[in-house]
Amino acid sequence: MSNQPLPSPAEDYSGWYNDIVYRADLCEQSPVRGCIIIKPYGYEIWEGIKNALDMRFKATGHSNAYFPLFIPMSYLQREAEHVEGFSPELAVVTIGGGETLAEPLVVRPTSETIIGEAFAKWIQSYRDLPLLMNQWANVVRWEMRTRPFLRTAEFLWQEGHTAHATHDEAEAETLQMLDVYADMAINVAAIPVIKGQKAESEKFAGALRTYSIEAMMGDKKALQSGTSHNLGQNFAKAFNIQYLDRGNQLQHCWTTSWGLSTRMVGAVIMAHGDEKGLRLPPRLAPIQVVIVPIFKNDDERGKVMEAAERIHKTLAGAGIRVKVDERDDLSPGFKYNDWEMRGVPVRLEVGPKDVVNNVVMSARRDMGKEGKRSLPQEGIVASVTALLDEIQASLLAQATAFRDANIFDVKTYDELKQVVEAGGFARGWYAGEKEEDKRIKNDTGATHRCFPLEQPGDGGACFLTSKPAARVALFAKAY
C-alpha cells in the first residue's frame, strides 16, 4: 500500500496505467514472461463482466461447454488462412511424458478448429441446427510486447461458436452477439462503444466478415473490446460440418465465432480512471460501498462500530456489495485514498457526531469535494441505491462526452494526419483497401478501426484517394 500520488495520466499515461493495476491490487507479475497473476480484486471485476455476459448468452439460447486446451497441429493446418494468421503467436508442445509426441500439440490460441471437428460429429440434419455454444477458457498467444490485461501471452475469455443452415442466419447471429457485447459494455461497464465492421486488413484469419466494438480510452487511443465473426463456410468445408436439408440434400453449415476477454478489465481502467486511481461503475464494482468508521477512543469506537455494522447489515440485506473498513492501524485519510485508488463508487463516513445525529457522510468516487453530502441513516438503502444509479449514469455520460468531443470528421489525408497527431478518432469517407490501410498505418501509426454500422448515408469523396466512397471509416492509434 502507498499513498504516493500516481503519475499524471496527462504526462505519463503508460506509467499511470501500470501503477494503477498494481497499486489497486488487481494483479501482479508472474514468473512467466508476459503472463500475470490476476489477484482477487481484479478477478472479481472480470467475474462481473463474465456474469453479465453469461446471463445474456443464456438468454439468447446459448449453452456453455468446454473443449481441450491442446489442439493437434494438423487441425489448424486445415484452414490455410487461419493457420497463417496465428502462426507467429503459437505455443507448441512437442514433448509429453518424456516422449516426443507423434504430432505436435498447439496450446489453444482460439478453438474454431477443435470445435469444428466436434460440430462435424454432432450435426447430421437441419433438425440439429442452429447449434449455439460458448466456452469460458484461457488462451495462449505468444505476444512479444505485453501489458497487464491489455495484451498478455495468456488471457481469459469466452469464445462463442455456432452453426447455422444459411448465410443470413449466421449473419443475424454475428450481429446479435455484437449487440450483446455493446449492451454489456454500455450498460454494465459504462463504456460507450462504436459497433462496426472490420476492414479486410483487420478481419479475423479465416472469417468472411468480422465485426467489433471499439472504445476510446482516456488517452484518446482506440481499444478493440470484443469481436464477432461470420466465418462463412470456410471452417465448415475444412472440417466437413454438413447437414441434410429438408430436401434431403447434403449442405455445408455456416458458422460463427465471437469473443471478449480480460482486455475489458483494462478498458474499464482506461475509460474511467483518473489521477486518484480507478473509478469503477457500480454495476461492475466488487465493492459498491465502503464504510469508514471514525473515532478517537474506545468509547467512541463502540458507538461508531455499532452504527457502522448496522448500516452494513441493512445495505447487504438489500443486495448491495458493502464492506466496513475495520483496519485500526490506518488513519481515515489513508483509508479514503486507498479506497479511491480501488475505485469504490460510494464511501460512507461514520463518526461520533453522525451517530448522535443519525446520519452518515457520503462521498461519490466519480466526483470531487462537491460529491460529498450528508445522508440520513433512515432510508439509507433508497439513498445509496439512488447514488449508485447516479454514478453509473454519470460515468457513462462522462465517457460518452469525452469520446464524442474527440471524434473528428476529416475530408483530406492532411486532416487525418493532424487528428492522429493530436489524438482522437478520425472519421471520413473512405474507399481504400488493404494497401491504403497499410500506407496510413505506416505514415501515421493509426489503424483502420472499423466501418461504423451507423452510417450517414449517401456517400462522399474518399479523404485519401478522392474516389467515390459509400461508407465512412474510423482511424485511430490503438492498443
- Residue closest to 20 by CA, chosen among 221, 225, 261, 279: 279
3.30.110.30, 1.20.120.1200, 3.40.1640.10, 3.30.70.260: CATH of 407-476: 3.30.110.30
Cα–Cα distance list, 5 to 15, 16, 166, 337 (Å): 12, 10, 56, 10
Q: What is the 3-class SS of 21-45, one letter each residue?
A: HHHCCCEEECCCCCCEEECHHHHHH
Compute mean pLDDT per 10 residues along the chain, 479 residues long, and list them: 83 97 97 96 98 98 98 87 78 97 96 95 98 98 90 97 98 98 98 98 92 98 98 95 97 98 98 97 98 95 97 98 96 96 98 97 93 96 98 98 98 98 98 97 98 96 97 98
Instruction: Indicate the residue type of 172.
Output: A
Task: Residue 435: count other Cβ atoms within 10 Å of its Cβ.
Answer: 9
Identify the pLDDT of residue 308. Answer: 98
Q: Judge if 289-388 and 407-476 fold alike in CATH terms.
A: no
- The predicted pLDDT at position 78 comes to 83
- Yes or no: say if 111 and 67 are a contact pair by the CB < 8 Å rule: yes
Residues 6+ apart with CB under 8 A from 212: 178, 195, 196, 198, 224, 225, 226, 227, 228, 449, 450
Residue 389: Cβ within 10 Å count: 12
Q: What is the pTM of this model?
A: 0.95
Which letter does DSSP use for residue 180 in this model?
H
Q: What is the pLDDT of residue 83?
A: 67
Q: Which pLDDT score is estimated for 145? A: 85
At residue 367, the pLDDT reads: 94
Which CATH superfamily groups domain 289-388?
Anticodon-binding domain (3.40.50.800)
- For the chain, the domains span 13-272, 289-388, 407-476
pLDDT computed for residue 175 by the predictor: 98
- Amino acid 382: pLDDT: 98
> Which numeric CATH code is attached to 13-272?
3.30.930.10
